[in-house]
Structure 1
Amino acid sequence: MTSTHTLFDDKTKILVPVELPDPQPFAPWLVDFLGALDVHVLGCYLVKEQTSLEQSRDQFEEEARERLDEVVARFQDTGAQTSSTLVFTHDIVETIDRAEAEIDVDLLIRPSEVGKISNLLAVVTDDLHLERVRQCITALLEESVVPVTLLHVMDEDAESSEREKESLVLDGLKQRLIEHGLDEDRIETRCLHDADPAERTIEFSRDYDVVIMDENEKKLRDQLLRQTPIPIIMVRAHGDED
């Protein structure tokens, strides 16, 4: 069944996890980007392994709720639809994974205090979700001159036919971006080969302000969440795409 809405309309639900009690500041571009969407703020209060979740909730719930409400209010001020959940957890990434499935979001974004975007990396895995990835890139960059790199990292032992296919996928996404208004000279494609594609991708991403990836790269996203402070936008697919 075909999805009934595009990636960026008032039905788009985005999950924004924030770590409590001291949430990272939100950059103005991020608040503006989310202003027209349905924003669910996931407040994650990280608890040490040796401390019970119940004990921490009893002690810190009121403070955590106040800080979470402050974050939610920031999005409400932009006109966004908002909702929130407060969770006391020993593992923030696991909590994000669970909430992502339960809430059934279209996008997930980790907050950033980066003042502005100077470059963007899109990690591309296949051609299943290209249109939604394209919509995300366009929404972020259409009113700027910021460059985007389209990246795919393959195993170094990949067959030549696989390498050719992935090169065509990157070229296809580049063409879609051009058709939707991005100048060709702002778009770079990189198809790399490595014994450890995930590690190579992580290292490559460290030079970028924002990383976009699709839901096929959930394991890689979790590694990025744990190992880097890079803002990540994960695009989830709902239904078939044209």
Structure 2
Amino acid sequence: MSDRDHCVLIPVAIFEGESVPQTIVDALASIPVVLLGYRELPDQTGTDQARTQYGDRARAELEELRTVFEEAGCDVTSRLAFTHDRLETFERVAVDDSCDAVLVLNPAPVLETILVAVRSEVNVEHIARLLATILDGTTLELTLFHVAPDESKRAAGTELLETARSELIAAGVDGGRIDSAVVVDDSPTDAIVEAAADHDLLVAGESRPSIRRVIFRDRAKRLARRTVDPVLVIRGEYLEPADGGDTAGGSQPGPN
């Protein structure tokens, strides 16, 4: 049974041979998925023209992708877009379909362990519920990971991960499936990339509530480019404090 409290957007570039690894399909079986097949067009090509010329072929390819999810028991909705700006399209679809996370695809031949980069306590409860839903019905294990800028912040990082662990257990995750690690490094991105090499899926958060700005331009996208694993980016809209205020210390939510 799918959990409609969550929804993941999966953009797939059609006509480019991109596919969703079966391991990812199986891992997301309990969460509603919006499968967005898109084709980015040159400025001189109109979207109506492209839809007329390539629509049937695109719909057939998207239907094949959708069938893979349906056969795994997924609650899947499909969207097709011919666009001049894929980032704008991703953001619009994510907002329209209330998706709280977006999957940046990379190959995933094996999916056994998840690395969760935790930066702050902003809406840790939401992240825990999403992860609990992903873990449900799987044997996946996860590592909570925090990068402290110096030794004086290590203890605070350890406390942060204990809070995250408690939220996961409260959400129904067996504590035996949860590991945690705090490292000290003045380059958080490098530290996360190094740690991600020992895991199969990286979970990170947006630094601001904009897929357009963040997924393809900030640290989350840089992480996706530098790892060989898929990256699940939790949208900033779902990480902000309920009152819309700043986080403690003025930091923004996102990956460490």
TM-score tier (shorter): 0.7 to 0.9
Q: How does 1:1-242 map to 2 (within 5 A)?
A: 9-46=3-40, 52-54=44-46, 57=50, 60-77=54-71, 78=73, 80-89=75-84, 95-97=89-91, 99-111=93-105, 113-156=107-150, 160=152, 162-179=153-170, 180-184=172-176, 186-216=177-207, 218=214, 219-236=218-235, 237=238, 240=242
User: Contact between 1:132 and 1:235, CA under 8 Å: does it hold in 2?
Assistant: no
The CA distance in 2 between the partners of 1:215 and 1:139, in whole Å, is 20
User: Contact between 2:115 and 2:203, CA under 8 Å: does it hold in 1?
Assistant: yes
The CA distance in 1 between the partners of 2:144 and 2:233, in whole Å, is 15
Q: How many residues align?
A: 227
Deviation at 1:32, TM superposition (A): 3.5
The CA distance in 2 between the partners of 1:43 and 1:14, in whole Å, is 14
The CA distance in 1 between the partners of 2:23 and 2:162, in whole Å, is 28
The CA distance in 2 between the partners of 1:44 and 1:106, in whole Å, is 19
Deviation at 1:213, TM superposition (A): 1.9
What SS does the corresponding residue of 1:63 show, helix, strand or coil? helix
1:203-242 CA distance string (max 9 Å, x none): 322332111123337422221233334212223317749x
Letter in 2 for 1:87: F
Letter in 2 for 1:182: D
C-alpha RMSD of matched pairs (Å): 3.3
**TM-score between the two structures when normalised by the length of structure 1:** 0.74
The CA distance in 2 between the partners of 1:141 and 1:13, in whole Å, is 15
User: Contact between 1:65 and 1:86, CA under 8 Å: does it hold in 2?
Assistant: no
What SS does the corresponding residue of 1:216 show, helix, strand or coil? coil
Letter in 2 for 1:172: T
User: Contact between 1:15 and 1:107, CA under 8 Å: does it hold in 2?
Assistant: yes
Aligned-residue identity in percent: 21
User: Contact between 1:150 and 1:188, CA under 8 Å: does it hold in 2?
Assistant: yes
What SS does the corresponding residue of 1:190 show, helix, strand or coil? strand
The unaligned stretches of length 5 or more in structure 1 are 1-7
The CA distance in 2 between the partners of 1:89 and 1:154, in whole Å, is 40
The CA distance in 2 between the partners of 1:108 and 1:214, in whole Å, is 10
**TM-score between the two structures when normalised by the length of structure 2:** 0.71
Deviation at 1:190, TM superposition (A): 1.7
Deviation at 1:97, TM superposition (A): 4.4
What SS does the corresponding residue of 1:82 show, helix, strand or coil? strand
User: Contact between 1:210 and 1:233, CA under 8 Å: does it hold in 2?
Assistant: yes
The unaligned stretches of length 5 or more in structure 2 are 209-213, 244-256
Letter in 2 for 1:63: R
Letter in 1 for 2:130: C
